[in-house]
Chain A
Amino acid sequence: MSGNRPDLADILTGDLDAAGRAAAEERMRTDPAFRAEVERLGPIGDALSALPADAWEQTAPPPLRARPEVVPLRRFRRPSGGVLRSAAAMAAVLVALAAFALGRVTADGDGTAAGRTVELPALAAGAGSGSAEIHADGAAMTLRVADLPPSADGDFYELWLLNSPTDLISVGSFRVPESGEVEVTLPIPLRPERYDFIDLSREPVDGDPAHSGESVLRGETA
């Protein structure tokens, strides 16, 4: 402590003798700003004082015993290259086949639906139609599209949550079979209400994860 007038560091660190504590109490009584700062920072000192040795010694935790399965979302959209492109096309075809055969692709969760539905009108005539059902728990959405042009060899469709061309997040990718119809359930990485639009774009298989700028369907979330 410095002299008879304890400073903030003395009080926060508890570096006070009996006279210092009395002086600190007096200063806190007469100096409201000082008192407020002590009260704001004091719990940090309490926490530090109570930390056990493990906390200071950086003791390692036990290793994780089980490792959950990883959902391979958008795995085919890694940086370009001939082999990767082939793998991407193959992966996309597999997703499309699954969607076609099962009528539904569940990428995650139990698919709890019964949430609210956002209509996704076409942005140009003849570009199909769709809707996105945001599940009640907000953790996933089920997209249903119809009359969309089938995916070609070098492209696929991608679903986005979007505020602007620079504020958007990909929800997932899929291919559309000859029927033009797809139902796919995808986990939502962020709360959908944070975004103004749900957007479906057509994307080239070029290894670029950015939005292509070619939107097909779009609906307002509000």
Chain B
Amino acid sequence: MSTATLPRNPDPVFGKPALRVVADDDTQIALALRARRDGSLEQVYERFGRATFGFLIQMLGDRGMAEDVQQEVFLEVWRRAPQYDPSRSGLLTWIMTIARSRAIDALRKRTPEPRDPEQATRLVDRQGGAGSPDAVLERWQVAHLLARIPADEARLLRMRFYEDRSQREIADATGMPLGTVKMRMVQAFRRLRTMLDEEAGA
């Protein structure tokens, strides 16, 4: 057979597919999902299912409906997997956007009026800042990312925002100097901000 070779390349490992060089777990999962590899959906579900389900329960206010929509979301994730473009957004953002759309669809179906889908979307968006789909969505993105930051930072955030302890009380409970508690709090905030921005493709 007549063939030609690729251009010479100084790389001694000529031709190693870029897919083998992956930066992190999310990237690996995204690549596997896009190629629809066996087990990839289960991996994606294990990683992101909690965030989408939490978002759906909060949006829909009905666990049964949230369970149904959750299934729809991940079937759509699977169906659209080859179209996912990591240069445009992180996998979390992409999946949460699908969840947002399916949640709005479910709310439209549940509410007999209004019939205009655009109007329904506007009404959903007007549920008030804290309860708007985008606010709830960002909240659950943050919840997801809490598991990705260093455990000691996540622990401090939990003590402050879930257990409702003051920073002074946290310092006493952990034995850390108050200044260290504050420094790590700010570090955690900055880390979450950076991760959210990266997720959004900023």
| Chain A interface residues (CB < 8 Å from chain B) | 2, 7-10, 12-13, 15, 40-41, 43-56, 58-62, 64-68, 70-73, 108-109, 122-127, 137-140, 149, 164-170, 187-191, 194, 199, 202, 209-216
Contacts and interface: CB of A to CB of B under 8 A. Distances in A.
Given A8-B186, A164-B9, A211-B15, A54 B54 contact: yes
Contacts of B49: 61, 64
Contact of B79 (A68, A199, A215): A68
A202 B1 contact: yes
Contact of A187 (B9, B50, B82): B82
Contact of B3 (A52, A194, A210, A215): A215
Contacts of B75: 66, 68
Contacts of A52: 54, 58
A202 B141 CA distance: 44
Interface core residue of A124, A166, A194 (most chain B CB under 10 Å): A166
B18 interface: yes
B160 interface: yes
A123 B7 contact: no
B166 A210 contact: no
Nearest to A138: B83
Q: Secondary structure at chain A's binding surface: helix, strand, loop or mixed?
A: loop
Q: Secondary structure at chain B's binding surface: helix, strand, loop or mixed?
A: helix
Interface residues of B, number: 71
A109 B79 CA distance: 9
B121 interface: no
A44 B14 contact: no
B25 to A, nearest CB: 18
Given A124-B4, A166-B13, A215-B3, 15 more contacts: A15-B166, A15-B167, A41-B190, A51-B139, A51-B161, A52-B58, A54-B57, A55-B139, A55-B140, A56-B158, A58-B147, A189-B34, A210-B14, A210-B16, A213-B15
Contact of A59 (B50, B157, B183): B50
Contact of A140 (B4, B82, B85): B82
A62 B138 CA distance: 21
Contacts of B140: 55
Contact of A210 (B2, B15, B135, B157): B15
Contacts of B141: 47
Contacts of A49: 161
B21 to A, nearest CB: 9
A189 B79 CA distance: 12
Nearest to A74: B35
Nearest to B32: A189
Contacts of B142: 44, 47-48, 51
Contact of A62 (B13, B17, B70): B70
10 contacts: A44-B142, A46-B130, A47-B139, A51-B143, A54-B54, A68-B75, A122-B2, A139-B82, A168-B17, A202-B3
A199 B17 CA distance: 13
A83 B4 CA distance: 31
Nearest to A45: B189
